[in-house]
Amino acid sequence: MMGKRQRLIELRALADNDLDEVMEIEPVAFGNHHWSRQSFVNELDNRLGQYYAAVDASTGQLVGYSGFWLIGDEAHITTLAVHPDCRRKRIGEVLLINNILTARQAGAKWLTLEVRVSNEKAQNLYFKFGFKNLGIRRHYYQDNSEDALVLWTENILRPEFLGLLNERVDSVRRLIKVDWMAPLEFESPYSLAEELHIPEEKRA
């Protein structure tokens, strides 16, 4: 029996002319307290920000977007959203892998983010990529005063993390064909024996 045909996803920088489609996804993904259009305009001009679009190559439809701030050697994921019709199709994983690769290329060693304590689906995505819960920000979300989990990766240059990342990439490749925006190939500067866990000062 023939396998499933790979879906072709194009990754590129998010642009102002994507914002009509972004604003169709945003309230569905994040509810009443979602970013405004002006927030995205501001973020696209933010020198610390890097934002990316995932587009279905066969239709030209924006199927998701994500981005992060790069501050020193830390990449803080600020948003990641998938079109409601495209959920459970590995688009979120594509966006997260792209964040990791582009952040690494830009000099990041760590990735972090906040996620609602009630959002188990998002948490499970990040946990698959080795993120760990290192604290809680109380009443972080203004719309309902919900707490946020503070998630961190280990050092993304470590061999252990690279092995996990490669496993996730191989899993996605079975269903999706994508040209990544930064190289997959990377030689760790560290040995497996070195202890390079999350420094105490990075913990919440």
Query: For the residues of 127-153, what is the DSSP string, one character each?
Result: HHTT-EEEEEETT--TTT---EEEEE-
**Residue 167 annotated in active site:** no
Q: What is the C-alpha to C-alpha distance for residues 137 and 139, in angstroms, rounded to an integer? A: 7
**Residue 140 annotated in active site:** no
> Of 26, 126, 140, 195, which residue is the catalytic one?
126
Q: What is the C-alpha to C-alpha distance for residues 145 and 93, in angstroms, rounded to an integer? A: 28
> Of 43, 93, 114, 154, which residue is the catalytic one?
114
Strand locations in the chain, DSSP E? 7-13, 49-56, 62-71, 74-82, 110-116, 132-137, 148-152, 176-178
Q: What is the C-alpha to C-alpha distance for residues 51 and 40, in angstroms, rounded to an integer? A: 10
What is the arrangement of strands in the sheet containing 176-178, beginning at the earlier edge strand?
Answer: 132-137, 148-152, 110-116, 74-82, 62-71, 49-56, 7-13, 176-178
What would the two tokens of residue 180 be? 């990544």
By annotation, the residues acting in catalysis are: 114, 126
